[in-house]
Amino acid sequence: MALLKVENLSKSFSGLKAVSNLEMEIKEGELIGLIGPNGAGKTTVFNLLTGVYVPTEGTITFQGKKMNGLPPYKVSYLGMARTFQNIRLFGDLTVIDNVKIAYHQHVSYNTLTGILRLPGFFKGEAEMEQKAYEFLKIFGLHEKANELAKNLPYGQQRRLEIARALATKPSLLLLDEPAAGMNPQETQNLMELIRWIRKEFNLTILLIEHDMSLVMGVCERIYVLDYGMVIAHGTPDEIKTNPKVIEAYLGEEAI
């Protein structure tokens, strides 16, 4: 059974279809790419999968459960996490607090325990602190734990956003243009990081990216969108030589 199955998925805004009849299937453990020109509908797909948008038509099934209409926090509880094309950290909070917020859903104390400051509250807070620090250490950010997130360099903010997403303990991680703004060396390092976190955290990953060296280097299968529709699907080698993809997105020089 597929971890994620998308059937006949469409989204319209004022009569304009941003996504049209999307069919997608992702099995557990896969690393899948979603590419296409600017405005092709890639981020709209992510917003549909994570509950930001409600589909106009079609169904989204995740781990055997229909996801249509679920709000983002319930999608997160079920095991789907994402990063954003434009970094969305809590800039005025510390680096470690950004990760603690994400991990909070796994702490067992309730609101009353927190208000009354019962022992369960302090135990939960200590667990969050420890786990958040462990995630920061994985990404080389532990020494910046008490700095404000907005003061981190751009590349470190990207890493913090991935660390925050992983703190929700997802089974499916959606990465929206993680290499945006990175130089070639940073992109190469990111490629190795994506491979590592996939193995280390036993993750399935769906990746939106414009950097073709990254996409072709890490993805096993690729879906190509154009004007909200899938125009091609296959392995990196198949996508590289697909005439529709060349015409719509890659261009002759990229082949």
| CATH 3.40.50.300 is held by the domain 1-79+170-255 | yes
Of 131 and 105, the structure prediction assigns the larger pLDDT to 131
Measure Cα distances from 212 to 115, 131, 216 in Å. 50, 34, 6
Edge-first strand order for the sheet with 57-62 is 16-26, 4-13, 57-62, 65-66
Q: Outline which parts of the chain fall under CATH 3.40.50.300.
A: 1-79+170-255
Q: For residues 2 and 160, what is the distance between their CA atoms, to the nearest angstrom?
A: 29
pLDDT of residue 182: 84
Q: For residues 242 and 255, what is the distance between their CA atoms, to the nearest angstrom?
A: 10
Q: How would you write 66-134 as a 3-class SS string?
A: ECCCCCHHHHHHHCEEECCCCCCCCCCCEHHHHHHHHHHHHCCCCHHHHHHCCHHHHHHHHHHHHHHHH
Percent of the chain predicted with pLDDT > 70: 94
**DSSP codes joined into one string, 183-205:** -HHHHHHHHHHHHHHHHHTT-EE
Average pLDDT, the chain: 90
Q: Is the pLDDT of residue 204 over 90?
A: yes
- State the maximum Cα–Cα separation within the chain, in Å, rounded to a whole number: 65
Q: Which of 99-108, 119-128, 228-237 has the lowest mean pLDDT?
A: 119-128
Predicted model pTM? 0.88
* Start-end of H helices in 149-183: 154-166
Q: Is the pLDDT of residue 209 over 50?
A: yes
Tell me: the pLDDT tens digits for 56-102?
999 999 999 999 989 999 999 999 999 998 889 999 999 999 999 99
